[in-house]
Structure 1
């Protein structure tokens, strides 16, 4: 019985004996999370009971990430209205307002086409400027 009692005492006290004498016990009193931008350095803990966790936030807190700045135009992102307009433009060859040397009145659409291109470029620039904060 004495052996069993000694064995129980030794097995329950083994984790206590295995701990280092100088190691702090328990959980830290303060955990500080810091988000760093650019070349900022991670701050040092103010005392032994504090843990500082640092993460890189990119170039600037006011800058939109590069992958969200410009949206690529792909066939999947083109609307059905624009697809129908493209089919209509292709099929207008030779009719009035088509801006083509083929057929009668083909030249009358060149000015209209130039104005439409200008308006599209202006709208694209406005949309691009709206994405930048």
Structure 2
């Protein structure tokens, strides 16, 4: 957690602006992220927003969040492989080595900091709202094709009615004027 905060502070201090989350790609769509406990109901989504609820056990309601309870850097929480990886960089120097020795030694420090932050984020046991948002968005997108097909059918039906009305009025222009059907105004005839 400390490494992630350090990476964020360093990135901000060096002028990197935080990138928007993928869920915010569509600015017109609001995402409401909630954590609900036990059998608490999840508020329904509206047309303008997606509500995503992560459900946790009732026993977790008043506890300190799990990522803050444990020390992820404690040796008991790390696998043997992770502990051995430290030996791979012993004696490393030069470009991209993140060492004070050699020219360009400090050039790899930011890359290592970013790699560690992403590794911690990937291993975090916290709720992954990005995945939940994508699932909710997929549910909404399933009905778009059906709705579009229904709308297309309505538009085509209106076009057919309009063409039939035009045809009736053209043939009626040759014959004496007939009254327009109830509820419809007659179309204007172009000058001859």
TM-score (norm 2): 0.27
Structure with higher RCO (Cα < 8 A, 6+ apart)? 2
Max radius of gyration: which structure?
Answer: 1
**More helix, by proportion:** 2
